[in-house]
Amino acid sequence: MPLNGALGVSIVQMETLDFIVKSLILIALIFAPIFCVYKNYSFVKLYLVSVPIISFMLIIGGYWPHFYTEVRLNLMGYDSLGMSEIERLQNVAPEIHEKATQLHWSNMGIGWPLKVIIWMVILLPYPLIIWLCGFSFKKLKLRFSAKNT
């Protein structure tokens, strides 16, 4: 099992940690509004409960890939403060130079705060959609149960 750096953390352990964190974030994003609708929260209470949870999870989910990449680079021995590529790769094993360079450049581009803002715009209507589905389901359930009695 290949190890990353001096801490003795394997690549499999790092990938497992990444999978667990991403799964927990996704579960919280999806099920927070569903749980609120299931508990018969009003529309206002639904938003007061689910929007902070969604916002917090989006901030963590936006920052996590950046943080995870930095941790992996540090475990490889990559020096992010080096002025040239040679200085940055000085402590990295030769067989993982290319992987370290790819990880370093993967952090470039749109920053994580902008990604979080974009996802906020996309996901903030989600509790409304869940509430409308729950409201419609309850109305249909009442209508069909009234017909059958």
- What residues does each domain of the chain span? 3-148
Q: Is the pTM of this model over 0.85?
A: no
The DSSP call for residue 94 is: G
What's the CA angle centered on 69, arms 1 and 115, to 5 degrees?
145
Provide the pLDDT confidence category of residue 149 given band limits of 50, 70 and 90.
low
The reported pLDDT for the residue numbered 10 is 76
3-class secondary structure, 123: helix
Q: Residue 79: phi, psi to the nearest 5?
A: -100, 100
Helix (H) or strand (E) segment spanning residue 99? helix 97-106
Q: How far apart are CA 51 and CA 136, in angstroms?
A: 21
Q: How far apart are CA 85 and CA 96, in angstroms?
A: 14
The DSSP call for residue 3 is: E
Q: How far apart are CA 116 and CA 49, in angstroms?
A: 19
Residue 7 reports pLDDT greater than 60: no
Tell me the helices (H) and strands (E) count for the chain, helix number first: 6, 2
Provide the pLDDT confidence category of residue 29 given band limits of 50, 70 and 90.
very high
pLDDT digits (tens, 9 = 90+) for 92-145: 989 988 999 898 888 888 889 999 999 999 998 999 999 999 999 988 888 888
